[in-house]
């Protein structure tokens, strides 16, 4: 029987996790895995690649294994390389990138399948009689039996007010550009999430740096993890499908938790295992309401930072070096000594003049597949091989991660996971969820004809 050839487009965490699971398949099920990555390294991706040691993971090591059936894998790997108790620690992000490279190396050397690493940019996937043909930007096309889209986060979108004013904006996900920018003076960061925190801590090490302003519509900073790693109650929180009623019950649960003297983090953690199911039970109108009104609050309570990072942020705020703003920038232009801005505080019509030397976009990735500049996504959508999720979050899939064509029919041999499935599952961007999805997709592809 011919060995199946499965291509994985994208070699960040999602792609590495699927590859490692596929390589564990035994006997005739063991495929040849072709891992395609446009970057320099296979495994770390943008999230765990060119970062500084001071940038920490936002999840404890005990929950960062690449394998759902080997939950201690990362903590043990970490313990072999540094002293002390590692399971409850928030490890440096570059260290996790090295772990993912090792995961691939171990899978390739011990697995039953074969791994081929291909450096390149996939620009098109087209169906052929025997499966799929993948066109690469500067290499020969590849013929494969199945495709996994593991392309990770999309590019961030620059707010139009800066483009209209001809004002340059640096991308936080381009660390080389941020490092090359001139030092000194004040800086404005657009976005107040975890990406902003990483960049702010880096900038604050420079003694020439002025005030670091961070702006978002609501000015909500990510909350902190507990110092005590004790887990929440294992009982999942049951909620009804109607959004308003679910919110009412959840708030009541938070109050009860507070009355028992327990931290609010327990309420959010009790939702985690059920979030994809709850999300899929919402109607499209309810999902849209959640995104408009509740998402900012969900994000800061669900995607938390390490306690030590939160303490450093608080110190910067207390010293006046980091100032969090809410509202919007209504005008921007180049000035004689920098960039002149007009800021309008949330809930106010008054404008305040600001002048900064640099602007850094920390708004995070855009998951709107319909407006993506990625050539592969554009081709899949234009050819009707995929369709965007109706909420504007990635691609539309069925309940198992198969990509839906424009007709609504799922592809048996094209699947996706990670950020591209946020519209389908919502909880799909963190390691604990992606690794489970990776194992399920590997089993699905192994059993496909």
- Are residues 146 and 188 both part of a single domain? no
Distances (CA, A) of 306 to 56, 88, 142, 229: 7, 11, 42, 11
Q: Tell me: do 379 and 250 sit in the same domain.
A: no
In a domain, 229, yes or no: no
Same domain, 111 and 199: no
Same domain, 125 and 51: yes
The answer as to whether 228 is a domain residue is no
pTM summary value? 0.92
Residue 449 has pLDDT above 70, yes or no: no
**pLDDT recorded at residue 255:** 92
Same domain for 374 and 390?
Answer: yes
54 and 109 in a common domain: yes
CA 199 – CA 185 distance, rounded (Å): 15
Domain for residue 236, yes or no?
A: no
pLDDT of residue 152: 85
9, 18, 22, 92, 112 from 29: Cα distances, Å: 20, 15, 9, 36, 9
184 and 283 within one domain: no
Final residue belonging to a domain, choices 254, 269, 302: 302
* CATH number of the domain within which 86 lies: 3.50.50.60
Does one domain contain both 286 and 311? no
Same domain, 297 and 314: no
DSSP letters for 164-226: HTT---EETT-HHHHHHSPPSEEEEEE--SHHHHHHHHHHHT-TTEEEEEEEESS-PPPPBPP
Residue 58 lies in a domain: yes
| Backbone phi, psi, residue 146, to 5° | -150, 160
**Chain segment 59-118, per-residue pLDDT in tens:** 999 999 999 999 999 999 999 988 766 888 999 999 999 999 999 999 998 876 799 999
Give tens-digit pLDDT for 387-440: 999 999 999 999 999 999 999 999 999 999 999 999 999 999 999 999 999 999
* 269, 302, 335 - which closes a domain: 302
The answer on 426 and 389 residing in a single domain is: yes
Residues 350 and 371 grouped into a single domain: no
Cα(430)–Cα(438) distance, integer angstroms: 12
Tokens 């960049």, located at residue: 199
Determine the structural domain holding residue 281 and report its residue range: 243-302
Q: Is 53 within a domain?
A: yes
Provide the number of structural domains found in the chain. 3
Same domain, 261 and 390: no
What's the confidence (pLDDT) of residue 446? 82
pLDDT digits (tens, 9 = 90+) for 269-310: 888 888 888 899 999 999 999 999 999 999 999 999 999 999
Query: pLDDT-derived band of residue 178, with 50, 70 and 90 as boundaries?
Result: confident
Within a domain: 231: no
**Residue 448: band (very low, low, confident or very high) from pLDDT cuts 50, 70, 90:** low
């Amino acid at each position: 029987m011919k060995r199946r050839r499965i291509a994985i487009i994208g070699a960040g965490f999602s792609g590495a996790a699927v590859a490692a699971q596929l390589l564990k398949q035994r006997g005739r099920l063991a495929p040849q895995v072709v891992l395609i990555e446009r970057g320099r390294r296979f495994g770390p991706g943008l999230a765990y690649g060119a970062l500084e040691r001071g940038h920490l993971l936002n999840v404890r090591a005990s929950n960062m294994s690449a394998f759902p059936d080997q939950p201690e894998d990362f903590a043990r790997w970490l313990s072999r390389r540094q002293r002390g108790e590692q399971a409850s620690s928030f490890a440096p992000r570059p260290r996790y990138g090295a772990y993912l490279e090792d995961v691939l190396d171990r899978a390739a050397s011990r697995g039953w399948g074969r791994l081929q690493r291909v450096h390149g940019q996939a620009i098109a996937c087209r169906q052929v009689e025997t499966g799929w043909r993948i066109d690469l930007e500067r290499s020969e096309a590849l013929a494969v039996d199945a495709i996994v889209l593991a392309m990770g986060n999309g590019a961030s979108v620059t707010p139009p007010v800066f483009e209209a004013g001809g004002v340059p904006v640096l991308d936080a996900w381009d660390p080389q550009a941020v490092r090359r920018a001139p030092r000194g003076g004040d800086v404005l960061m657009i976005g107040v999430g975890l990406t902003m925190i990483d960049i702010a801590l880096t900038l604050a090490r420079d003694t020439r740096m002025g005030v670091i302003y961070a702006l978002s519509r609501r000015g909500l900073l990510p909350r902190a993890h507990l110092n005590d790693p004790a887990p929440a109650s294992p009982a999942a929180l049951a909620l009804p499908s109607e959004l308003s009623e679910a919110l009412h019950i959840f708030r009541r649960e938070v109050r009860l938790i507070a009355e028992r003297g327990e931290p609010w983090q327990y309420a959010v953690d009790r939702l985690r295992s059920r979030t994809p199911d709850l999300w899929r039970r919402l109607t499209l109108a309810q999902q849209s309401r959640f995104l408009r009104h509740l998402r900012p609050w969900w994000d800061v309570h669900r995607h938390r930072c390490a306690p030590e990072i939160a303490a450093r942020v608080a110190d910067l705020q207390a010293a006046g070096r980091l100032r969090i703003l809410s509202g919007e920038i209504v005008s921007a232009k180049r000035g004689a000594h920098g960039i002149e801005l007009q800021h309008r505080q949330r809930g106010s019509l008054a404008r305040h003049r600001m002048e900064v030397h640099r602007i850094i976009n920390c708004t995070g990735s855009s998951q709107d597949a319909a407006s993506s500049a990625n050539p592969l996504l554009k081709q899949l959508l234009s050819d009707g091989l995929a369709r965007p999720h109706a909420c504007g979050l990635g691609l539309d899939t069925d309940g198992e991660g198969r990509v839906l064509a424009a007709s609504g029919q799922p592809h048996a041999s094209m699947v996706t996971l990670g950020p591209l499935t946020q519209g389908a599952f919502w909880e799909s961007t963190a390691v604990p969820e992606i690794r489970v999805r990776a194992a399920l997709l590997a089993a699905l592809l192994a059993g496909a004809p």
